[in-house]
């Protein structure tokens, strides 16, 4: 969830909480309060009309005016009856004048001297009404009664209208709050988004990228710390690069000199003498040392070189690798063949990188397989497998041997090595979004895989390896069908 969404959600949550906390009790008490208000007002108006009617009882015109005025105020019907229950005045019109209403329960009670207010069903109107009746007292006796009737449905509708208004106000407040929240979160999130873009540039290798110092105090401090970190990383990397370059230069020259001198000394010594034998051993050791220096140099630069990639067809890559190693294989009495399973497809990598990775796997297969066995290099969809019938590799060694200088049981029992072949192969494959894995081969032996499905031409876009590419594929020790 983005920061913006989180902030807007938080604002919405707080506003909803406020609306529910304040609006709901208000809405709930509204109906009761309006009902009480209507009842009290009806009573007060009826009392008022009754008091005024005492003076106007004989004057029908005045009584009628009185009833109409009260009816307008109350939005109801006002009826005045005499002591016998006969209608004197009706705000609804003259039709009922003269009729006897003494049987209406509220009027009967009012004519008996006590005011009454009831909610009942009116058969005439066909709806619930609120009827309020009070007696008209003249000279201590009941001279008639006033009745006010109001539609309960109308009151309900009025309440519903007010409730709807409350809901609309709540929604408007919520929308305004969301808008303000969204604007605020945009402002807060902008510096963070810019910082994230800069961090991504640094991650992609642009170590000169620096963040703008902007935003709140915390954001400015974060940007400052980020810049410090980027500065330190770029200084460290520069120092490391310089060190590797210097060290390799400083080591290579004396190593070459040493090797030449040893070879000269060997040429001057009888080959079958003990000294000649020792000198031969020394030349081999120096060659190994030079190789190790070269490999370490390659490994330290594998993640940061900028090599152009090309679109390669994996059959050709596998066949060329077999051709390179055929003589060495024959010398070891091993049959080395190339094969293919399924459509191999194309990958986008640097030729030298895939060749170097494959060489490390084929070299291992030849080194650790017994005389007389067979090794096959098989290309398949986006991957190449090197299959041997050697001692195999146990599950707990499969990852350990990818550590630098990590040698497994086969390595320790077999010919001397540096423990750098597999780490280099993996590093080179990963620079192109690929992966190198070792697995057991059905029927005995090892199956080493360079999986380059993550280096499909459409996926690699820029076409250069700058290191740190996502490892793709990764089906450890997998075989193609029928392997
Ligand atoms: N095909 C294989 N069969 C059995 N064991 C293997 C195979 N390939 C690699 N290994 C194990 O993995 C270890 C590491 O291999 P890696 O290629 O990294 O180094 P190395 O072969 O020992 O030395 P070098 O750096 O000279 O290649 C080996 O020592 C060996 O134990
Ligand atoms: Mg090796």
- How many angstroms separate the CA atoms of 307 and 136, rounded? 109
In the 8-state DSSP scheme, what is residue 57? T
Most confident of 14-18, 198-202, 361-365, 467-471: 361-365
**Cβ–Cβ < 8 Å for 6, 182:** no
Atom index in ligand 1 nearest the CA of residue 448 equals 1
Which residues have CB under 8 Å from 431's CB, separation 6+?
302, 303, 305, 353, 465, 466, 467, 468, 469
How many whole angstroms from 421 Cα to the centroid of ligand 2?
4
Pocket of ligand 1 (CB under 6 A): 360, 364-365, 368, 388, 390-391, 393, 401, 406-411, 417-422, 446, 448
Average per-residue pLDDT for the chain: 86
| pTM of the entire predicted model | 0.53
Q: What whole-number percentage of the chain has pLDDT above 70?
A: 93
* Order of strands across the sheet that contains 435-440: 335-340, 374-380, 383-387, 446-451, 435-440
State the ligand closest to the CA atom of 299: 1
How many angstroms separate the Cα of 297 from the Cα of each of 122, 225, 424?
Answer: 103, 32, 10
Atom index in ligand 1 nearest the CA of residue 422 equals 18
Higher pLDDT, 396 or 1: 396
- How many angstroms separate the CA atoms of 365 and 346, rounded? 25
The per-residue pLDDT for 459 is 47
* Shortest-distance Cα residue to atom 20 of ligand 1: 419
The per-residue pLDDT for 470 is 38
Residue 483 has pLDDT above 70, yes or no: no
- How many angstroms separate the CA atoms of 145 and 112, rounded? 10
State the ligand closest to the CA atom of 418: 1
Q: Tell how strand 307-308 and strand 464-465 pair up.
A: antiparallel
- How many angstroms separate the CA atoms of 150 and 42, rounded? 9
Residue 308 has pLDDT above 80, yes or no: no
The per-residue pLDDT for 306 is 61
Of the candidates 32, 36, 44, the one whose C-alpha atom is nearest the C-alpha of residue 132 is 44
| Token output for 259 | 């090797």
- How many angstroms separate the CA atoms of 186 and 180, rounded? 10
* Shortest-distance Cα residue to atom 19 of ligand 1: 419
Summarised one tens digit per residue, pLDDT across range 136-183 is 998 889 999 999 999 888 778 888 888 899 889 989 998 998 898 888
**How far is the first Cα of the chain from the last one, in angstroms, to the nearest whole number?**
45
Of the candidates 444, 422, 438, 445, the one whose C-alpha atom is nearest the C-alpha of residue 475 is 438
State the ligand closest to the CA atom of 363: 2
- How many angstroms separate the CA atoms of 35 and 88, rounded? 29
Residue ranges and CATH numbers for the domains of the chain are 3-157 (3.30.450.20), 217-302 (1.10.287.130), 307-465 (3.30.565.10)
**Cβ–Cβ < 8 Å for 91, 70:** yes
């Amino acid at each position: 969830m983005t920061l913006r969404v989180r902030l807007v959600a938080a604002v919405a949550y707080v506003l909803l909480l406020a609306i529910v906390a304040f609006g709901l009790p208000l809405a709930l008490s509204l109906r009761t309060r309006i009902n009480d208000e209507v009842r009290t007002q009806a009573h007060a108006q009826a009392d008022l009309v009754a008091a005024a009617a005492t003076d106007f009882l004989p004057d029908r015109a005045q009584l009628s005016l009185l009833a109409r005025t009260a009816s307008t105020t109350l939005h109801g019907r006002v009826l005045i009856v005499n002591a016998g229950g006969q209608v004197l005045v009706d705000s609804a019109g003259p039709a009922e004048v003269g009729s006897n209403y003494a049987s209406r329960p509220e009027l009967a009670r009012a004519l008996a001297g006590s005011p009454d207010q009831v909610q009942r069903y009116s058969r005439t109107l066909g709806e619930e009404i609120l009827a309020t009746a009070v007696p008209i007292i003249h000279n201590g006796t009941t001279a008639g009664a006033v009745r006010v009737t109001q539609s309960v449905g109308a009151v309900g509708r009025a309440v519903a209208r007010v409730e709807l208004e409350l809901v609309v106000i709540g929604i408007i407040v919520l929308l305004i709050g969301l808008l303000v929240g969204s604007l605020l979160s945009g402002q807060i999130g902008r510096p963070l988004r810019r910082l994230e873009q800069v961090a991504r540039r640094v991650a992609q290798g642009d170590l000169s990228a620096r963040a703008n110092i902007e935003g709140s105090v915390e954001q400015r401090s974060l940007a400052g710390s980020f810049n410090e970190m980027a500065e330190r990383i770029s200084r460290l990397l520069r120092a490391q690069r310089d060190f590797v370059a210097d060290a390799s230069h400083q080591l290579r020259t004396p190593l070459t000199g040493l090797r030449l001198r040893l070879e000269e000394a060997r040429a001057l010594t009888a080959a079958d003498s003990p000294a000649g034998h020792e000198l031969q051993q020394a030349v081999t050791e120096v060659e190994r040392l030079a190789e190790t220096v070269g490999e370490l140099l390659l490994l330290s630069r594998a993640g940061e070189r900028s090599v152009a990639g090309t679109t390669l067809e994996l059959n050709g890559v596998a066949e060329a690798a077999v051709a390179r190693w055929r003589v060495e294989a024959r010398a070891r009495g091993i049959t080395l063949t190339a094969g293919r399973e399924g459509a191999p497809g194309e990958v986008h990598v640097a030729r030298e990188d895939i060749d170097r990775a494959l060489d490390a796997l084929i070299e291992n297969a030849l080194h650790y397989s017994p005389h007389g066995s067979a090794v096959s290099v098989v290309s398949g969809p986006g991957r190449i497998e090197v299959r041997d019938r050697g001692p195999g590799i146990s599950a707990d060694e499969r990852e350990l041997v990818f550590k630098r200088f990590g040698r497994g049981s086969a390595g320790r029992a077999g010919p001397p090595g540096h423990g750098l072949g597999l780490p280099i192969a993996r590093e080179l494959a990963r620079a192109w979004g690929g992966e190198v894995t070792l697995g057991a081969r059905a029927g005995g032996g090892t199956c080493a895989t360079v999986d380059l499905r993550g280096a499909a031409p459409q996926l690699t876009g820029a076409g250069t390896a700058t290191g740190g590419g996502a490892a793709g594929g990764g089906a450890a020790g997998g075989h193609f069908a029928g392997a």
